[in-house]
């Protein structure tokens, strides 16, 4: 897995996550690199630099290196026995936030499998109008496309070279109209 994908064909694809103890219970996690802490910060910094002569951007995020850790974005609905509820309330998160040792209800010796990438992705065309409708966490499917357009527009405006996969795919006339409700 990678913390960022330059290849537009990876947008919208997903990974399957399941545990060794309950292999029949599988959860799908769509790739959304833009919500990763480091990537998100770099993108917002890039946006703030738009229009300036010298843009600030952490190019390291675009190197496409494999990573041994992943960021998961989970919304909790407060359901008593819900997985997201357990994770949001767990000592694992509290430990990360406050830097204190805590007893985890998630055992460290549990084995999880991550399978993928799967699915056909967004199946975009290199040019033309693309319209997307989404709500809530459904927006996560399209955020990396928003991020690609951000990089595309700022880099093109300042004459910087795009990653090869992006410059090869996106052609003039590519547009995205995003309808989203929260």
Partner 1 sequence: MALGLDLIEALTDVNKALGLDNFVAVIRLSKTSDSGSRQA
The residue (of 15 and 170) whose beta carbon lies closer to partner 1 is 170
Strand partners, 134: 180
Residue 134 CB, nearest distance to partner 1 (Å)?
A: 10
Residue 100 CB, nearest distance to partner 1 (Å)?
A: 26
Strand partners, 15: 29
136 near partner 1 (CB under 8 A): yes
Residue 66 carries which DSSP code? B
As given in the structure block, the two tokens for residue 105 are 């209800």
As given in the structure block, the two tokens for residue 5 are 């994908």
The residue (of 51 and 99) whose beta carbon lies closer to partner 1 is 51
Reduced to 3 states (helix: H, G, I; strand: E, B; else coil), residue 128 is strand
Member of 44, 79, 83, 118 binding partner 1 (CB under 8 A): 44
C-alpha span between 40 and 147 (Å, rounded): 9
72 near partner 1 (CB under 8 A): no
Q: Which residues bind partner 1 (CB under 8 A)?
A: 34-35, 40, 43-44, 47-48, 50-51, 73, 75, 136-137, 139-140, 143, 146-147, 149-150, 153-154, 157, 174-182
């Amino acid at each position: 897995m990678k913390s960022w994908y330059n290849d537009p064909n990876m947008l919208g694809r997903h990974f399957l996550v399941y545990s060794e103890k309950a292999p029949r219970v599988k959860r799908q996690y769509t790739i959304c690199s833009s919500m990763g802490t480091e990537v998100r910060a770099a993108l917002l910094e890039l946006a703030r630099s738009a229009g300036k002569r010298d843009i600030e951007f952490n190019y390291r995020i675009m190197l496409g290196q494999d990573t041994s850790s992943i960021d998961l974005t989970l919304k909790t609905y407060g359901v008593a026995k819900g997985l997201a509820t357990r994770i949001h309330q767990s000592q694992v998160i509290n430990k990360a936030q406050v830097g204190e040792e805590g007893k985890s209800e998630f055992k460290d010796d549990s084995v999880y499998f991550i399978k993928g990438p799967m699915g056909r992705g967004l199946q975009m065309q290199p040019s033309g109008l693309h319209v997307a409708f989404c709500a809530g966490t459904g927006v996560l499917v399209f955020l990396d496309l928003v991020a690609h357009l951000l990089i595309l527009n700022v880099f093109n405006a300042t004459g910087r070279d795009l990653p090869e996969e992006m410059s090869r795919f996106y052609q003039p006339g590519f547009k995205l109209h995003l309808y989203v409700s929260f």
